[in-house]
Amino acid sequence: MSVETSYHVFPTDCDVFGHVNHATIITLLENARWALIEPFISLTSLTTGDVWAVVRHIDVGYTAQTLPGDDLIIRSGMVALGRTSYSIRQSVRKADSGVAVAEALVVFVCLDRAGRPVPVPDEWRARYPMWSDPA
């Protein structure tokens, strides 16, 4: 099941043109991915464990601008699971109108402390929330 997080856009989130720029959207997507995994992977286990997940590729497409005062809903969920990698889909929509703001696909690879690819941990496979389309 996908996980939804919400975010209120403040003027400090905006660039000189008055809208949320690419760098800020990337940060909001990262924060939403943390919310996705917090229920089953602690920060301590990620920083002290034997497996690290690192971004291998990110693709973001934008369809509408976001302005101060907008409330956003960010949906996140796993859409693909390989031996050493997995992919997370994320969508950003305006809460009041449902207008699509951005869609992202983020590919992660799991590495050991020496930087070699390793299998996605079984616990992650079993507990990572999968992408689900809304009813």
The C-alpha atoms of residue 54 and residue 131 are separated, in whole angstroms, by: 20
- Give the residue with greater pLDDT, 74 vs 135: 74
Output the six-digit token pair for 89. Answer: 């889909």
CA distance 119 to 55: 15
> What's the pLDDT at 97?
97
pLDDT confidence band for 134 (50 / 70 / 90): low
Residue 135 has pLDDT above 60, yes or no: no
Greater confidence (41 vs 77) lies with 77
Task: Encode pLDDT of 84-130 as tens digits.
Answer: 999 999 999 999 999 999 999 999 999 999 999 999 999 889 888 89
Residue pLDDT, tens place only, 21-75: 999 999 999 999 999 888 888 777 777 789 989 999 999 999 999 999 999 999 9
Encoded tokens for 66: 């976001």
pLDDT at 121: 92
Hey, what are 130's tokens?
């999968």
Domains of the chain: 3-120 (3.10.129.10)
